[in-house]
Structure 1
Amino acid sequence: MGGMKRDSLMAVGVFCVGLLMIFGGAHASRGYPDYMLVGPLLLVSVGVVIRRRAPVGALVVGLVGIAGDLVLGPSTGTVLIFTDNLYSAALYGPRRLARWMLWIAAPVVVVSGVVALVLNQGWISILLWTVQAGLVILTPITTAVIVRQHWDQVHLERERAEQMARLAELDRRAAVVAERSRMARELHDMIANHFSAIAIQSTAVLSRNDLETPVVRRVLESIRENSVEGMSEMRTMIGLLRQDNDEVEAVRHRLADANQLVERSRQAGVRVELRISGVPRDLPAAMDLAGYRIVQEALTNVLKHGEAKGLVSIDYEDDRIVVVIENPVAERTAVLPGAQSGLIGMKERASLVGGTLEAGPFDGGWRVRAEFSQSAAPKIPARKMDS
């Protein structure tokens, strides 16, 4: 409705200007009264009103108006408004109409030159008529076609950008699902180890009748410890997605094994330095695994995008563990475009065990910093044994 209102105001404005031009003498005189030129002016102005809502109708009333004006005048104001009728029909009308208008406009311009030649027998007249016909007929149609092509290109680019955004979101989700699936497999093995120990120890107690009370108590304490740890790992695993028919890796990886990852990187040609501060200690299994995998993924990115040099720092503090991996990178690869899925996976691992991870450029290099708090790690509170 806003566009219709604007077009109506525009039509009123150009109609008033056209009246001033008619009664001001801006028309060819063929012996007709000036007021007769108002009718064609009114028709082309109506075309301006309906230019968006009915572009084909605007072209029709415009053609009728310009035909009457050519017979009676022509009038400069009516001709100029007619150019908008042509422009609107080519821009807002069907695509086939725009093509037809363009194909018809060129012959019409040529015919106008021939008519000028027949009527005036002068090359200057031919040139003037041809140029005027081109400006009035061909220019607005060509301009509308070009603008329409730009609109189509903008629309295609917008659709392409939306598709790229959807693909990027799908890639991000796929990376999260893949990382969770991998963690689910590994956590499954850890939980299986805890409950296997429970089964073995309980079977041993049940199969022996000669065990002393202190021995039975120690075994039951071990069973209780394994069950609590197993339930803690189970809580971490809940909600993770696991793919079917995948091979299960029965390997327990620990942050304390970071030296093995460093050694592998050195064998691959990367000069990696390992610094450990504080006293290494046992960590919750999920946290241990997350720290190991973060170091592994970060060193992989160093090999892919870095300058064949890196530093791994592991700081064991009182209630937290800070893992930092730094490496210099070339200026052209400072944003590490190929590491997005790996960064998503590392952040997912850290968040699932109550930790945080930051990754980004620093002075001439790239830094990954993960922080884990043992008090924030998911765990099951110990329950008292029934007597």
Structure 2
Amino acid sequence: MRKPKSPQMRNISVLLSLLFLLLNLSLLSASSCKDKSPLRMVSGSGCFKIALFADLHYGENAWTDWGPAQDVNSDVVMSTVLDSEKPDFVVYLGDVITANNIAIQNATLYWDKAISPTRKRRIPWASVFGNHDDMYFEWPSEWFSATGIPQVNCPLSSISYSGSEPCTFRGTTRVELMKTEIANNNLAYSLNGPRELWPGVSNYVLQLLSSDGTKPALLMYFLDSGGGTYPEIISYAQAQWFENQSQLINPNSKIPEVIFWHIPSTAYSQVAPKPNSVIAKPCVGSINKESVASQEAEWGIMDILTARPSVKAVFVGHNHGLDWCCPYRSLWLCFARHTGYGGYGSWPRGARIIEVTENPFTLKSWIRMENGSTHSDVTLSS
């Protein structure tokens, strides 16, 4: 027979429960001004599946036939992945749109089109920015020939916008894109991050609860790796923000953590297989067709991540011709898979899938292709 708890121990247990509740409420209240259900492991299976959609590049050359056609093809890829895998959550891993090729003021209309396959299936999602999402419009030189500027029309969308001239060549900021996504979608768990981290915007953390809802099972950090209207970089301030947040939320590193951003850090170049070579163990993947296009500098984020045993993996996009995962010190560095028909490269499209299991904790990943096949299975928690 177990010895009854003393009054002091009961008080400590109550205090810890209250602290956990307050932490949970603070994270959820930060996620949106609207009420959202907490993310949690699926009851019964104790699993949680995430699909990563990287480099969709919606909105390219909307004044041509091929531009809108490739967006339709991207819809098909996402629909195939979503219907095959039936994920519990989706991460839009940057370069959702190609803003420098979108000749309208309100690029949120193309952003809305890109997230529509996920929203249609009532699957929650979160997003981070890539280097193309808020780029300034690049005027095609041929528009200044005798043919002139073509007629530009706004795409149909389920969202509304203000302003008497929605189709002007102004561009749309990161803040506007994020605010519109959050305001118009109850399933969006994305956040406008702390003001002190701007011009980076998509800096936030989401908590995944256990299947019984009593404790955190996973922490998902999202960081804005820049590009577009400012340098391609994760700043020192962002690195310090992550360190402070992780120490506050997970001081003993007992809760597993995964990280999402768009542009690979310089650490990816250190572990990358030689371009066009066979991907050999311990790396796992199927395409290795280019060199890593990394951030411009490293300001401490990787040292902080590798010092935390709770950090299991970092997931990025950006390089369309890479889909490998390689170990780096105490964690894994993974590319997603080029999902969209926009952007460069003709390699078959697909999406990286992540599966989290709680008892015992495991983190597995594989690639689901547009033709329905899967490959490159890897365990990231060992």
| TM-score relative to the length of structure 2 | 0.26
* Higher share of residues assigned helix: 1
